[in-house]
Amino acid sequence: MFTWFSEGTEHRPTLVTVELLDRGDGCEMVLTHERFPTAAAMKRHRDGWSQIAARLAEYLQKRAPARPRG
């Protein structure tokens, strides 16, 4: 959990929570970003986080060890 503020949040603090949940042979990341000053700021950050999460997933899939079949 951490606070985030930038020009995109009108320099107001927002709250970011990152949870990693065990999912057997993998994990699930739940990212919650809240306390936005406007709906437009929320949408911009949602779009940005979605891109970041997709890039992270792609990176991790390339680095994951091969799983045994069978």
The predicted pLDDT at position 19 comes to 98
Return d(Cα 36, Cα 13) in angstroms, integer: 8
The predicted pLDDT at position 63 comes to 86
Q: Where are the domains of the chain?
A: 2-60
Whole-structure pTM over 0.85, yes or no? no
In 3D space, the residue among 35, 28, 24, 26 whose CA is nearest the CA of residue 53 turns out to be 28
Sign of the torsion formed by the C-alpha atoms of 51, 52, 57 and 63: positive
- Could you read off the pLDDT of 4-61 as tens digits, one per residue? 999 999 999 999 999 999 999 889 999 999 999 999 999 999 999 999 999 999 998 8
The predicted pLDDT at position 11 comes to 96
pLDDT-derived band of residue 70, with 50, 70 and 90 as boundaries? low
Whether 53 and 31 have beta carbons less than 8 Å apart is answered as: yes
The predicted pLDDT at position 26 comes to 86
Return d(Cα 51, Cα 4) in angstroms, integer: 18
At 67, which amino acid appears? R
